[in-house]
Chain A
Amino acid sequence: MSLIEITEVKKRFGDNEVLKGINIDVEPGEVIAIIGKSGSGKSTLLRCINGLETIDEGSISVAGAQLLPDDLHLKALRLKVGMIFQGFNLFPHLTAGKNVMLSQMVVKKTPKAEAEVMAKKMLDRVGLGHKFDAYPDQLSGGQQQRVAIARALAMQPIALLCDEITSALDPELVNEVLAVVKELASEGMTLLMVTHEMRFARDVCSRVVFMHQGRVHEIGPPGEVFANPQTPELKQFLGMQ
């Protein structure tokens, strides 16, 4: 059984149908890059998997549990699937350490001492153990994004959704974040990432999904998708025409 099963998912904003029937099955440990032009629905798809948007038709299930739009089901889902955003979204009034501790304590009711140990461990994992007491505005963009990754990891999710996590970063900071993601991938974490980093998608991902106008236009291993695109849209997107 697949870890994440996305079946015939449709999503409309008013008259605008953003997702027109998406089918993707993700196996445990897979790293999937979702590429496509802006407006193709890739971010919306990711937000649907985390319940930040409700779907109009179809179904999404994670580890066998259906995504239903009530608080109890949503919370259960979100404990399994972490999400990292383009704009980092760290809590600015808390230190890096407290950012990582907060949800463990209030959602999982982990005792403070335990949450602190976990936070230290996760910050170490992203190479920021020494920034435990720094506030977000004392960190660079790349460091903030790594704290955001640590914060999501501390909830021990079985999959991570990454929504253009390097798009807001200065070029020289992109690599430090991608290095962390790469390491997670090598440790077997299931990852779904919307990205514009084509080289990263080629090197690290097990499959690439090309979305176009609300549909999965092409899907396959990066070798095939990048070297031998089947449709004119993908060729154009990759700049091969």
Chain B
Amino acid sequence: MSEFTLWDILRNLLLATRWTIVLSLVSFVGGSLVGALLLLLRIGYNKAGRVFARGYIELFQGTPLLMQLFLAFFGLGLFGIDVPAWLAAGLALILWTAAFLAEIWRGCVEAIAKGQWEASSSLGMGYIQQMRYVILPQALKIAVPPTVGFSVQVVKGTALTSIIGFVELSKAGTVVTNATFEPFTVYGLVALIYFCLCWPLSKSSQILERKLNVAHRNH
């Protein structure tokens, strides 16, 4: 049996970390775009759009991410569509992220005082103008800390994709453990790497919250 140095283990884990980062970024960026669309449907004038967005959000928030991954991976396979693990992982995480971000952002839009709508109405602005110039600029500001905070959940969520066979950090941990028989060392390192990814995000969320609150102090 060959010997593995700590560096061998770490190097392999770090290589797999690239995929965790890529998957996180894809999920977050894709989820933001889909989430923005959902948000507009959710708070828009169109009733069908509102019902759809609401149902979508409740569905994705009300089921485990793992089930969504299984459905994306195996479910489409039932229809004869061969879905590679990376595609199923990316797709499921984008849709999942979108549901949560849409709901977080809806809270931010609704946190804007009613008087802002009334004042802009009384000045003759229409719905889209109010959104564009009055409501969203303020909502975006308060949305930054919770959005950055949620990105931590996305990074950790990518770990689940190891179960459908996508080789990211967690999956690499399993593979390396099987080769080295050193689970404690390997998973310890895996946890440490996740922490190094997530901690700066939570910290910056906290700092942003404090900073934006100061700018917002009298409202």
Q: Are A75 and B124 in contact (CB under 8 A)?
A: yes
Q: Residue on B with the closest CB to A138?
A: B218
Interface centre among B113, B122, B129, B218 (most CB of A within 10 A): B122
- Expressed in whole angstroms, the Cα–Cα distance for A89 and B118 within the complex equals 8
- Chain B residues touching A, majority SS: helix
Residue-wise, chain A 93-115 has the 8 Å CB interface mask toward B (1 for contact) of: 10000000011001110000000
Residue interface mask A141-172, B partner, CB < 8 A = 1? 00000001001100100000000000000000
Quote the shortest CB–CB distance from B121 to chain A (angstroms): 6
The residue of chain B having its C-beta at the shortest distance from the C-beta of A155 within the complex is B123
Residues 44-91 (chain A) with a chain B CB within 8 angstroms: 50-52, 71, 74-75, 78-79, 82-83, 85, 87-91
Closest to A144 in B: B218
If the complex has contacts A137-B218, A155-B124, are A102 and B133 also in contact, measured as CB distance less than 8 A? yes
A188 contacts B by Cβ under 8 Å: no
Q: Is A223 an interface residue (CB 8 A)?
A: no
Question: Which residue in B115, B123, B126 is a CB contact (below 8 Å) of A71?
Answer: B126
The residue in chain B whose Cβ has the minimal distance to the Cβ of A154 is: B123
Contacts A137-B218, A137-B219 known; A78 to B126 CB distance under 8 Å? no
9 A–B pairs (Cβ distance < 8 Å), ordered by A: A71-B126, A82-B123, A83-B122, A85-B115, A87-B113, A91-B120, A92-B219, A103-B123, A108-B124
Q: Which residues of B are interface residues toward A (Cβ below 8 A)?
A: 113, 115-116, 118-126, 129, 133-134, 137-138, 141, 216-219
Q: Which 7 A-B residue pairings sit nearest by Cβ, starting from the closest?
A: A89-B119, A137-B218, A103-B123, A89-B115, A83-B122, A107-B124, A78-B124
Chain A residues near B (Cβ < 8 Å) = 50-52, 71, 74-75, 78-79, 82-83, 85, 87-93, 102-103, 106-108, 136-137, 148, 151-152, 155
